[in-house]
Amino acid sequence: MAKRIALQEAVDKIHDGMTIMMGGFLGVGSAHQLIDALVAKGVKDLTIISNDTAYPDQAHGKLVANHQVKKVIATHIGTNPETIAQKNSGELEVELVPQGTLAECIRAAGAGLGGVLTPTGLGTIVAEGKQVVNVDGKDYLLEKPVRADVALIGASVVDESGNCVYLGTTQNFNPMMATAADLVIVEAEKVVPTGQISPEAVHTPNIFVDFIYEKK
């Protein structure tokens, strides 16, 4: 199946109310052009799962600033004053998750696991409403897998079959998110013929990628 699609085709697959994973860290490794197109489309009531909410004028922070997001699941929001303001006003629901826990819960979803046992958050508000499991005399929180309808991934080099390489810190959250969504759209800095990426260099195998948009 041909995986390359145009920007508008990619955006047409995303609708109001969807849960979307946004790869990257503070916009580094994010699918910037896809996100900008979502801002222009005006899709709303989104739930965003990401490490952070970037900045008001960058990456998925623009969606928050444009009041298109109803809920954020993230590790931190401090770099985006819009997220904080909307949370304080009650317009935006924010669920803060420890960074390692968020990464592991996404990985667990991609691996088909039932959850993650972690001591992080025990005895704090993080533990409220969650199951505590005792293993060999030590308590752990059961954190459930985290999945999404769509993952928007930013990759450095992608071949035409969908194998992805992330250079430097653009790898943050992208590989695991690509395994944990029903639909995975990759925004590629560069697309090369299949076979040009060495197998040992592949970070995300093509089996996880549904569509590829090459940046213009």
- Assigned token pair, 144: 């459930």
**What is the pLDDT confidence band of residue 2, given thresholds at 50, 70 and 90?**
confident
Q: Span 124-144, mean pLDDT?
A: 96
For 192-202, the pLDDT digits (tens) are 999 999 999 99
Q: State the chain's maximal CA–CA distance in angstroms.
A: 56
Q: In the predicted model, is pLDDT for residue 1 greater than 80?
A: no
Task: Output the CA–CA distances (angstroms, integers) from residue 208 to 23, 61, 103, 185, in the order listed.
Answer: 14, 26, 17, 10
Q: Which CATH number fits domain 7-97+149-214: 2.40.50.100, 3.30.470.20, 3.40.1080.10, 3.30.420.40?
A: 3.40.1080.10
* Strand arrangement of the beta sheet that strand 138-143 belongs to: 116-118, 138-143, 132-135
pLDDT surpassing 70 at residue 29: yes
Any idea where the domains of the chain sit in the sequence? 7-97+149-214
**What pLDDT digit, counting tens, does each position of 87-120 carry?**
999 999 999 999 999 999 999 999 999 999 999 9
Please state, in angstroms and rounded to a whole number, the distance separating the CA atoms of residues 192 and 194: 6
The whole model's pTM is what? Answer: 0.95
